[in-house]
Amino acid sequence: MTDGKKAPTPTDLPTQSPDALEAMLTQAMSTRASNAPAVPTVGQRCGLIAIVGKPNVGKSTLLNALVGQKISITSRKAQTTRHRITGMRTVGPTQYVFVDTPGFQTRHSNALNRSLNRTVVGAVNDVDLIVFVVEAGQFNQADAKVLSLLPANTPAILLANKFDLIHRRAEIAPWLKEMQERHNFAEFVPMSANNARDVERLFGICDKYLPEQPWMYGAEELTDRSDRFMAAEIIREKLFRLTGDELPYTSTVIIDKYEEEGNLRRVAATIVVERDGHKGMIIGEKGEKLKRIGTEARHELETLTGGKVFLEIWVKVRSGWADDDARVKTFGYE
Ligand code: GDP
Ligand code: MG
């Protein structure tokens, strides 16, 4: 958008005909190709963008695509992103600093979930732009919970993800009208996080919401997470990938040791689970599952660090830790 046009406000919408809504949809899908900022840029531009949404809508996929490197784990299983992960990308004069947030928990309200909820609220109250991610054409109670956390005075983009799964566009216009009535979204972006062109287009859309100010990071930097943190995330991803849906999300990974000797890293990690049965699931027949988790994690760590990695993984049962505030803290949650 180079002409400074704004998406219609919710008050405009009820009077609009279905044709007008269809026109708006067409416009949203066709005129966003430009990467030019709406306001001429004098110097550097830099701002924080929170990517929020219920679990499984594609936030991690989007963040990884935006940053161009895998920094947030993705999985078919919901709720795998538990830490607030920041990635950044500098395009032309603009530095985009992304904040990923855990999915808002609605089913249980134990200490772990309270900690997750605090992280979400902390993330949205401290940013220049919110990207509210939903699955195109869908909106349920979990989406509504997340939406209710968004501050009214921060511009929010409605990102209708997984648009590749929408086959009848006619259904989207009424859905969009409902969405505009729910929140005063600044813009509507139908897209697919796994489509590279859609992702590049998003930079040009977000640009104008970020203030003119010096960059916070170097132009080449992609994450401010430590190698130690990345090690835990990688192990956790392999754990969820290789144990499928059987393993409850309350299991976690702790890095006990992370030592660097030249090009070599010695890493010791503990996977903490809630029950003996879960321990068996991770270790597998003759230990082959744990061995595979270790091998795959080590390969990825070696790619990430560009060196050799010795990785030791232990599995421990810590029954009930998710209900214990002190213990949640020990494991690094905010
Ligand atoms: P998160 O929980 O919101 O971080 O969601 P993830 O990024 O982990 O994605 C959840 C699932 O949705 C994964 O299986 C992704 O591959 C899938 N996914 C993400 N974006 C898209 C998309 O644009 N189209 C389709 N078809 N699937 C997607
Ligand atoms: Mg995620």
Walking along the chain (334 residues) 10 residues at a time, the average pLDDT comes out as: 44 53 68 44 82 88 81 51 65 87 55 65 77 96 89 94 92 94 96 95 96 85 75 88 74 86 88 85 88 91 85 83 51 35
Nearest CA to ligand 1 atom 8: 74
The ligand minimizing its distance to the Cα of 55 is 1
**Separation of 136 CA from ligand 1 center, angstroms?**
12
What is the separation of C-alpha 247 from the centre of its chain, rounded to a whole number of angstroms? 21
| 238 in the same domain as 138 | no
Domain extent, residue 294, equals: 227-330
Residue 281 lies in a domain: yes
| 8 A C-beta contact, residue 232 and residue 85 | no
* Residue that finishes a domain, picked among 157, 178, 209: 209
From 121, 120, 45, select the one nearest 88 (Cα to Cα).
45
| 246 in the same domain as 194 | no
CATH number of the domain at 289, please.
3.30.300.20
Residue 1 lies in a domain: no
| 157 in the same domain as 54 | yes
From 123, 114, 121, 115, select the one nearest 85 (Cα to Cα).
123
pLDDT at 174: 94
Rounded distance between C-alpha atoms, residue 24 and residue 16, angstroms: 10
| 202 in the same domain as 172 | yes
* Residue that finishes a domain, picked among 209, 242, 270: 209
> What's the domain count of the chain?
2
Rounded distance between C-alpha atoms, residue 181 and residue 34, angstroms: 28
**Separation of 51 CA from ligand 2 center, angstroms?**
10
User: Taking the CB of residue 224, how many other CB atoms lie within 10 A of it?
Assistant: 14
Token digits for 2?
Answer: 């180079």
Residue 232 lies in a domain: yes
Distance set, CA 321 to CA 40, 232, 308, 329 (Å) = 52, 18, 33, 10
User: Best of 54, 56, 81, 132 to mutate for ligand 1, by most ligand atoms within 8 A of CB?
Assistant: 56
Residue 168 lies in a domain: yes
Residue 222 lies in a domain: no
**Separation of 106 CA from ligand 2 center, angstroms?**
16
pLDDT at 159: 98
Given the CA of residue 198, which atom of ligand 1 is nearest to it?
A: 23
Residue 216 lies in a domain: no
| 242 in the same domain as 181 | no
pTM for the predicted model, two decimal places: 0.65
Name the helix (H) or strand (E) containing 179: helix 172-182
| 53 in the same domain as 163 | yes
| 93 in the same domain as 41 | yes
| 246 in the same domain as 140 | no
| 199 in the same domain as 162 | yes
Rounded distance between C-alpha atoms, residue 252 and residue 274, angstroms: 9
| 8 A C-beta contact, residue 77 and residue 55 | no
Nearest CA to ligand 1 atom 19: 58
pLDDT at 288: 87
pLDDT at 120: 64
| 201 in the same domain as 86 | yes
Given the CA of residue 100, which atom of ligand 1 is nearest to it?
A: 4
Give the residues surrounding ligand 1 with Cβ less than 6 Å away: 53, 55-61, 74-76, 81, 103, 161-162, 164-165, 192-194
Given the CA of residue 165, which atom of ligand 1 is nearest to it?
A: 26
Residue 214 lies in a domain: no
| 272 in the same domain as 175 | no
Residue 110 lies in a domain: yes
pLDDT at 175: 96
| 308 in the same domain as 171 | no
The ligand minimizing its distance to the Cα of 189 is 1
Nearest CA to ligand 1 atom 12: 58
Hey, what's the torsion of the CAs at 121, 123, 127, 133, to 10 degrees?
-90
CATH number of the domain at 49, please.
3.40.50.300
**Separation of 161 CA from ligand 1 center, angstroms?**
8
